[in-house]
Structure formats: C-alpha cells, structure tokens
Amino acid sequence: MPISSEALRAKARSVLEANRVGSWTKPAPHLYPHLWSWDSAFIAIGLLSFDPEAARREYQTLMQGQWSNGMVPHIRFDTSIEGEYFPDHNFWGCDARVTGISNSIRTSGILQPPVHALAATRLRRAGVDLEAEDFDRLFAWHHYLMQVRDSESMGGITIVHPWESGMDNSPRWDRALFGYELKEKPEYKRVDRERVEHPEDRPGDDEYDRYVDLVLRLKSVDYRVDRLPTDYPFQIKDVAMSAMFAAANRELIPWAKELGKNSERRALEGYQLRVLDQWDKTFLSKPEAARPWYVDRDMVRGQGVELFSCAGALAVLTDPASLEAPEAWIEDLCRGPFAFSDAAKRPLRRLVASTAPQEREVFRPNLYWRGPVWINIQWLLTQGLDPESPIAKQIRQSSLELVQDVGFYEYFDPVQGTGHGTDGFSWTAALVLDWLEAA
Ligand code: 2M8
C-alpha cells in the first residue's frame, strides 16, 4: 500500500506533541510517565524534523540526568507525579549521595543502551548547536561504559539487569534471571498492567519478582557495579548494547578531533579497537558455522546465550570482520530463522522480530520482547545497512506501512498484524518521522 507521507507525518507529530512535558517527552501517555533514556534519544531524532529547538532541549534534559561517574541512568523521574509508575524514585533511592549530582534530579540506578551519541550527531548534522560540554558528557558516558561495564577489557558492555538492555523480558535473559534461587519474594505493587488494554502483553509477576530482587541487590551497594558481590547472579555482555556502543562511539571520534581534544580522541579510538578487535571472540556464536551469528555472553555461567533474537542482528551496527555483506546477511536471516510462517496475516517478511519465530519454545508474537516487532529495532537495522539497498528500503517501507495501517503502537504482533502494548508511543512516531524525512 502506498504511504501517505503527509498524513503519517502529521499523525506522528501529534503523538510527540501529546506526550510532551515541558522540555522532554514521555514514551507514552499513560504507561510510561517519566523520561526514559533511549526513548528520549530516539525522540530527539524525530523532533528534528519539525522542531530542532525541542530536539536540543529533549536531548539536553536527558543528559542532565547523568551521574557524576558518567553513567546516564535509564529513567529521569518527573517528581511532580506520584503512584503512576512502579518502581518510582523513592523505591530506587538514588539521592545525591548515590548519584553525585543535585538532589533536584531523581533517577533510577541502572542504564539503557548508549544510543545518545547517535542522537547528538544527528542533531549536529541538522545544525543544532551543541556545546563542548555536550561532548564532554558523552565522553564521560563512553568512558564509564568501558571502564566499569567492560572492566575485563573484552570489548563488550556488561548489563546487570534486564531493564538495562531495553529488551526487558527477552528470552535471552531467561536462564540468568530464573537460574538463581529467589530467597524471598519482594514486596511491591506493580501498576503497569492497569495501564494497558491487554495486561497479558506485559511481563509476568515471576519476572517482576526477579526484576525487583535485582534492583534491591543493586541498591544495597548504591548501584556501584564495581562493588557487586561475587554471587551477583545477572551479569551479561549484551551483544546489542555493545553494537550500539560501537556505532555511537565511532561518531564521537570526529567530534573530538574537531574540538582538538586529543587525549579524548585517542581514548575513543582505543575503545573502538577494543570492541572491534575482540568482537568475534566475545560474541560470535559458532566460528565454524556457514552463516555468522552473534550472541550475548553470560559472564556468570561463562557461556554464550544461544538464541536467535533481534540483538544478534544488530551486529550490522558494528563492522565485525566476520560479517562481509550485512545486507545479504539480513536477507538471509529473514528467509531463515526470522521467517514468519505462511499463516502470518501481514507481509512482514522483511522485518526482524524481537525473538525469531524459529525459536518456537519461547516465541510469543504478542508478548513484549518475546516476539513482537519493534520500530526502534527496524530503525537501528536501517542505520547499519546501505540505505539504498533493497533490504534497507524494504524494512523502512514495511515499517511505515505497518504503522500507517495499525497505528503508533509500542509493538506489533507479526503473526496477526495487530498493535500491542500502549498506543501513542513516542519512539514509533519519532522514528517514522526520521524515515519520512530521509525519503
Ligand atoms: C520498557 O521498559 C520499562 C522499564 O524500563 C517498563 O517495562 O516499565 C522497555 O520497552 C524499554 O526498552 C523502554 O525504554 C521503556 C519505555 O518505553 O519501556
């Protein structure tokens, strides 16, 4: 079906405007009432198409939540509201003693994927005036990721909570999350399921018990990942996070050069080499396989997390030696493990589901990160592919058609072709705007 660009653009813009709260934007009207890290980075990119000044404010509001150790937290809370989201800022307990920044800014104690430098670069290319201080913040962020989250110098970012991945209930985390004994069921009350049309599209209570348990364990060491006890059960080198890091880090190098920041430039070049030189050693699943595939590395169990998920496909964002033709590789994956059955109602044949349909035991087409198609993943894939290649064009076109037909949903069931989670979802709107702009 042809895309009606003007109508789609107008709707996308109204989604972002409706979710705007002063200088920043909520991911969705009801389910997510605070500022989320990677959401806001995507949102800033989308805002560029109609309000560059709002894009700058969005980006800087997000980065102002940065801790004094360089970490950019996954949520910056709107402290004027209460009870609308669990866990709230009181539960996290990240005050100035923990964050090293003003008590007027309240955040969570964990991180999300480092797409921030990608957003900053897009802003700068569009003529938005970012300052040397904006560079310094990004540098401190990348330095933190390498120093604290890759303390073993393996060239991959370690996450310590599924929420850090942004792909919360992905089956990638099942073994680590359920592989330890939960000594005591934590006390808490979730509110998310009251805020969506279909509560069954959200993670289960079993998962939430462990999400909360891990937060409490992290809280007991003031979220200092460098001080985690040796029996901390969830430590995984995240293949998607590491690919996004490499793509973002690459963008920072010319900015450092431009500013004459030579020691920072050298450090960034060192990070880039660290990831790329060791990529295959850390993430390549089976070196002997005909088709390369990349998986997370469970640092507690010392093994790869063998699964076909969108995370491995995001390797197109790096430039690993083992991946010769990323476009042909994605095509091949779409015909192979990521192929949808012929019974699928929509022609989503060129979209990459969060979990591959071939993973029959765990694939759930409507359940959050266990199968649905997410627009940010399709967008990230297109950033790693030649934009003129047929596969990049197909991913873009199919995504736009899906949103045009179904709406600005959080995620989409690739079998039924229906929208799930929350409607009015900001990054769906933002990235649609970016694709339309690039066309
Ligand atoms: C989802 O995660 C939050 C927790 O951070 C939640 O379920 O409450 C994820 O999809 C995450 O990637 C996203 O950033 C966040 C807000 O859209 O929602």
CA–CA gap between residue 11 and residue 407 (Å, rounded): 9
* DSSP E strands, 108-202: 158-159
What would you report as the CA-atom Rg of the chain, rounded to the nearest whole angstrom? 20
From 81, 39, 83, select the one nearest 61 (Cα to Cα). 39
Reported as a single tens digit per residue, the pLDDT across 215-259 is 999 999 999 999 999 999 999 999 999 999 999 999 999 999 999
165 alpha carbon – ligand 1 mean position (Å): 9
CA–CA gap between residue 118 and residue 115 (Å, rounded): 5
- Identify the three-state secondary structure at position 265: helix
CA–CA gap between residue 4 and residue 10 (Å, rounded): 10
CA–CA gap between residue 101 and residue 105 (Å, rounded): 7
**DSSP letter at 368?**
G
Among protein residues, the one with the nearest Cα to ligand 1's atom 3 is: 163
pLDDT of residue 3: 84
pLDDT of residue 319: 85
Mean pLDDT of 107-136: 98
pLDDT at 93 over 90: yes
Among protein residues, the one with the nearest Cα to ligand 1's atom 11 is: 166
Residue 150 pLDDT grade (very low, low, confident, very high; cuts 50, 70, 90): very high
Q: Which amino acid is at 359?
A: E
Token pair 């890759």 is found at 150
pLDDT at 376 over 80: yes
Name which of 93-97, 133-137, 350-354 the model is least confident about: 350-354
**CA distances in angstroms from 245 to 35, 271, 354, 391, listed in the order given:** 21, 10, 19, 23
Q: Is 36 in the pocket of ligand 1 (CB under 6 A)?
A: yes
Tell me if 153 sits within 8 A of 102, measured CB to CB: no
- Identify the three-state secondary structure at position 255: helix
The better pLDDT of the pair 349, 324 is held by 324
Predicted model pTM: 0.98
CA–CA gap between residue 115 and residue 247 (Å, rounded): 8
23 alpha carbon – ligand 1 mean position (Å): 20
Token pair 């967008």 is found at 379
- Identify the three-state secondary structure at position 184: coil
299 alpha carbon – ligand 1 mean position (Å): 24
Q: Please give the positions annotated as active site.
A: 168, 410
> Which atom number of ligand 1 is nearest to the Cα of residue 28?
17
Residue 192: Cβ-neighbour burial (10 angstroms; 0-12, 13-18, 19+)? middle
Mutational pocket test of ligand 1: of 72, 77, 159, 168, the residue with most ligand atoms within 8 Å of the beta carbon? 168
163 alpha carbon – ligand 1 mean position (Å): 7
> Which atom number of ligand 1 is nearest to the Cα of residue 85?
8
Residue 190 pLDDT grade (very low, low, confident, very high; cuts 50, 70, 90): very high
CA–CA gap between residue 246 and residue 253 (Å, rounded): 11
Residue 439 pLDDT grade (very low, low, confident, very high; cuts 50, 70, 90): confident
Among protein residues, the one with the nearest Cα to ligand 1's atom 7 is: 168
pLDDT of residue 263: 98
pLDDT at 401 over 80: yes
Token pair 């899906």 is found at 402
> Which atom number of ligand 1 is nearest to the Cα of residue 427?
17
Among protein residues, the one with the nearest Cα to ligand 1's atom 5 is: 163
> Which atom number of ligand 1 is nearest to the Cα of residue 165?
12
Tell me if 380 sits within 8 A of 317, measured CB to CB: yes
